[in-house]
């Protein structure tokens, strides 16, 4: 196979892929003509997401096939990722409904998420999350991610933009599709001079920073542990209302994280237990990062009394919290 396929096979349980027969793939094949597309919800580099209808309200991610044609074996990779996607059934994961797999029409159909992303809550609306609420959100993320990992799926792009909050329920989107639908350095229309979309770097574990090269992002060594690192950043955003390394240029972030420097927590008003979770997730050595079941039990054990002390105050404004 291509280098891309070889990379994926290390992380995505693609050992199961050869056993998928064409019949079982057909079950998930949605004829493009059956889809109704309404307005554009948003556009990424490789795809555009539409509000659509297919037996009810859906989100349709239509891939820009021209953008894909520069890459090796895009259709195989796409089918592989769809095969991975369809194995997921969990409360906290977006519902995969099917895909259009006949080029040039490549699309992924999922349930339409209501509510807003954590990114919108935190960075645009500046909503404050109390410590209690942050813990509840983090527990649900850990549950969804723990499930994905148990199925052998690495998210590769866990970030607040890919986490919806629907009436208090967390829904994670965009998992396992990174290879086809995401970044390609050097083929960059958005982002900055290095081809890095704003806000992306702070989710990348040190080993990913060290592997960053121009035109190489498809081959980054993503793993379950790099997902845990990204979760740490989500946890930081929930608690602090901003990204780590805020305002620093990408060169500075890559240099620091690659050699093990972490965002300082000195100014963060939160309990030791809460900061410990951050430090564990951001551990320099990937082997020292906890897995999601471990994180879940740590989150469940956080002392409720302390959390409940000032429910009306967000954790980063609470002056009474220990540090
Ligand atoms: P990136 O390409 O860097 O991941 P992005 O997350 O904004 O950026 P997309 O994943 O293409 O790009 O999403 C485009 C828009 O569609 C986003 O605003 C996203 O919140 C929205 N969106 C994606 N999936 C769904 C869904 N299932 N339901 C509702 N909105 C969705």
CA of residue 49 to ligand 1 center, whole Å: 6
183 lines ligand 1 (CB under 6 A): no
Q: What is the pLDDT of residue 199?
A: 84
List per-residue pLDDT tens for the chain, 323 residues long: 334 434 444 444 444 444 545 545 677 889 999 999 999 999 876 689 999 999 999 999 998 766 555 554 567 777 888 888 888 999 999 999 999 988 778 899 999 999 999 999 999 999 999 999 999 999 999 999 999 999 999 999 999 999 999 999 999 998 877 655 454 433 444 444 456 777 889 999 999 998 887 655 557 899 999 999 999 999 999 999 999 999 999 999 999 999 999 999 998 989 999 999 999 999 999 999 999 999 999 999 998 654 444 444 444 433 333 33
Q: Which of 27, 292, 309 is nearest to 142 (CA)?
A: 292
pTM: 0.81
Site to substitute for ligand 1 among 106, 161, 184, most atoms within 8 A of C-beta: 161
Site to substitute for ligand 1 among 174, 178, 201, most atoms within 8 A of C-beta: 174
CA of residue 250 to ligand 1 center, whole Å: 23
Q: What is the pLDDT of residue 69?
A: 54
59 lines ligand 1 (CB under 6 A): yes
Residue 48 phi/psi, 5-degree rounding, is -125, 135
Q: What is the pLDDT of residue 284?
A: 97
Say which residues have a Cβ less than 8 Å from residue 216's Cβ, sequence separation at least 6. 185
Q: Whose CA is nearest to atom 19 of ligand 1?
A: 42
β-partners of residue 52 are 37, 58
CA of residue 117 to ligand 1 center, whole Å: 9
Question: Token digits for 55?
Answer: 């037996």
Q: Which of 133, 155, 156 is nearest to 144 (CA)?
A: 155
Q: What is the pLDDT of residue 213?
A: 72
Q: What is the pLDDT of residue 83?
A: 84
Q: What is the pLDDT of residue 64?
A: 72
Q: What is the pLDDT of residue 40?
A: 97
* Catalytic machinery residues: 157
Separation CA 174–CA 108 (nearest Å): 10
**Cβ pair 97, 52 in contact under 8 A:** no
The residue count for the chain: 323
Separation CA 152–CA 51 (nearest Å): 30
Separation CA 237–CA 263 (nearest Å): 12
């Amino acid at each position: 196979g291509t280098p891309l396929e070889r990379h994926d096979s290390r992380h995505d349980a693609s050992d199961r892929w050869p056993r998928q027969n064409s019949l079982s793939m057909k079950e998930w094949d949605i004829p493009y003509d059956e889809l109704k597309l309404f307005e554009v919800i948003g556009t990424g580099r490789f795809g555009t997401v539409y509000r659509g209808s297919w037996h009810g309200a859906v989100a349709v991610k239509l891939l820009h096939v021209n953008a894909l044609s520069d890459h090796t074996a895009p259709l195989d990779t796409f089918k592989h990722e769809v095969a991975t996607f369809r194995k997921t059934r969990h409360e906290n994961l977006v519902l995969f409904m099917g895909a259009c797999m006949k080029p040039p029409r490549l699309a992924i159909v999922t349930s339409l998420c209501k509510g807003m992303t954590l990114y919108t809550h935190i960075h645009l609306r500046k909503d404050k999350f109390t410590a209690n609420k942050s813990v509840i959100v983090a527990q649900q993320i850990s549950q969804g991610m723990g499930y994905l990992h148990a199925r052998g799926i690495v998210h590769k792009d866990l970030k607040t933009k890919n986490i919806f909050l629907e009436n208090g329920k967390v829904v994670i989107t965009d998992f396992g599709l990174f290879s086809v639908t995401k970044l390609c350095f050097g083929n960059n229309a958005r982002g900055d001079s290095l081809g890095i979309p704003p806000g992306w770097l702070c989710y990348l574990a040190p080993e990913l920073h060290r592997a960053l090269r121009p035109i190489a992002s498809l081959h980054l060594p993503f793993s379950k542990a790099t997902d845990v690192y990204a979760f740490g950043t989500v946890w930081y955003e929930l608690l602090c209302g901003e990204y780590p390394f805020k305002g620093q240029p990408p060169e500075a972030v890559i240099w620091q994280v690659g050699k093990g420097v972490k965002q300082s927590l000195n100014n963060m008003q939160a309990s030791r237990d809460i900061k410990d979770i951050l430090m564990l997730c951001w551990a320099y050595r990937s082997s020292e990062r906890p897995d999601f079941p471990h994180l879940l039990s740590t989150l469940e054990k956080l002392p409720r009394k302390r959390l409940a002390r000032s429910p009306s105050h967000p954790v980063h404004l609470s002056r009474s919290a220990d540090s």
